[in-house]
């Protein structure tokens, strides 16, 4: 499941071009961040993931 929307990346970079592999690499980073945040929330005995978990 992809968490990144390619059209939104294009909006964010403006006039720059976006390489074909960028969205996939960004999605991988985002998934790693979400996983780590979930682990931190669990380690703190919470079932809610919060901004501070990032």
pLDDT tens string 11-21: 999 999 999 99
User: How far is residue 48's CA from residue 54's CA, in Å, rounded to a whole number?
Assistant: 13
Give me the number of domains the chain comprises: 1
Is residue 15 a part of any domain in this protein? yes
Q: Which domain holds residue 21?
A: 6-53
Is residue 42 a part of any domain in this protein? yes
Is residue 19 a part of any domain in this protein? yes
pLDDT tens string 24-38: 999 999 999 999 999
What pTM was estimated for this model as a whole? 0.86
Question: What is residue 1's predicted lDDT score, i.e. its pLDDT?
Answer: 85
In 1-54, alpha helices (H): 6-13, 22-43
Specify whether the CB–CB gap between 28 and 37 falls below 8 A: no
Is residue 34 a part of any domain in this protein? yes
Residue recorded with tokens 């901004």: 51
């Amino acid at each position: 499941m992809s968490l990144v929307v390619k059209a939104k990346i294009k909006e964010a970079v403006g006039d720059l071009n976006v390489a074909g592999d960028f969205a996939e690499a960004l999605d991988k980073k985002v998934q790693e961040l979400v996983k780590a945040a979930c682990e931190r929330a669990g380690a703190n005995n919470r079932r809610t993931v919060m901004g501070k978990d990032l």
